[in-house]
């Protein structure tokens, strides 16, 4: 188990399925299990393609706080903030 920060709410999350997760990584969490570590480079690349096509502002506007979901079943993206000993430090 590890701890994941969802926009300020820290929850215990099972990290068994993401052995590659490091403290500080963003991950996709579903019903208490992290299923994937989010590839920040890929996320930025999609936005870069939009920006290059003139479809985004140069500086993205903050449209609201990240992670506004309240449904415990909802898929969420959060930041791993604690992982069990034995995992490499970031």
* Cβ-based neighbours of 68, under 8 Å, separated by 6 or more: 7
10: contact with another protein by CB under 8 A:
no
CB of residue 29 vs another protein: minimum separation in angstroms?
A: 10
Helix (H) or strand (E) holding 6: strand 2-6
Terminal-to-terminal C-alpha distance of the chain:
18
84: contact with another protein by CB under 8 A:
no
Residues binding another protein (CB under 8 A): 14, 16-19, 26, 28, 30-33, 35-36, 38-40, 42-47, 50, 53-57, 60-64, 66-67, 71-75, 77
């Amino acid at each position: 188990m590890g701890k994941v920060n969802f926009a300020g709410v820290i929850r215990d999350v099972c990290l068994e399925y993401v052995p590659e997760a490091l403290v500080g990584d963003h991950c996709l969490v579903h019903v208490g299990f992290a299923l994937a570590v989010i590839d920040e480079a890929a996320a930025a690349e999609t936005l870069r393609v939009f920006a290059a096509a003139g479809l985004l502002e140069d500086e993205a506007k903050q449209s609201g706080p990240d992670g506004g979901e309240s449904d415990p079943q909802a898929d969420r993206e959060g930041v791993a903030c604690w992982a069990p000993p034995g995992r490499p430090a970031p």
